[in-house]
Amino acid sequence: MAITLVNPSGLPEIDAYRQVSIASGTRLVFIAGQVAWDAEGVTVGGDDLAAQVEQCYLNIGTALAEVGGSFDDVAKLTVHVVDWTPDKMPLLMEGITRAAAKLGVTPVPPATLLGVAALDVPEHLVEVEATAMLD
């Protein structure tokens, strides 16, 4: 595997992600921000943040599978959530947990969470982009 995830001593250990990702592969993969669209371009989940998060992560898994990778190859995630407030964290984590179960992985690469005013269309509540390293 091209990615090693680490929680360095001296930094807090956070359950949701690891602080450092060491990439040692040969192909760097950038995945465009994924929203909660299904294969036909229909938004999944309506106003359910957890369902939309789950679909975003599944879309990243689909994109990686197409190029010979998996979520285990993700080196970094950036998550954009509309009108973010800390009380939305349980829904975010629920969506990630459900996606992880379907993907058969524990998606814990380093991540940045950003609150944003809006995304491309009003019904999208979250967008997730990924950078991966493949052997």
* CATH code where residue 8 lies: 3.30.1330.40
Distance (Å, whole) CA 29 – CA 68? 11
**pLDDT score of 14 more than 90:** no
Instruction: Convert the pLDDT of each residue in 93-105 to its tens digit.
Output: 999 999 999 999 8
16-75 pLDDT, tens digit per residue, is 889 999 999 899 999 999 999 999 999 999 999 999 999 999 999 999 999 999 999 999
pLDDT band at 115 (very low <50, low <70, confident <90, very high): very high
- Look up residue 57 and give its amino acid: Y
The structural domain count of the chain equals 1
Nearest to 84 by CA among 48, 116, 52: 116
Write out the residue range of the structural domain in which residue 31 sits: 1-132
Give the model's pLDDT for residue 51. 98
pLDDT value at 1 more than 70 = no
* DSSP one-letter string for 46-94: TT-HHHHHHHHHHHHHHHHHHTT--GGGEEEEEEEEET--GGGHHHHHH
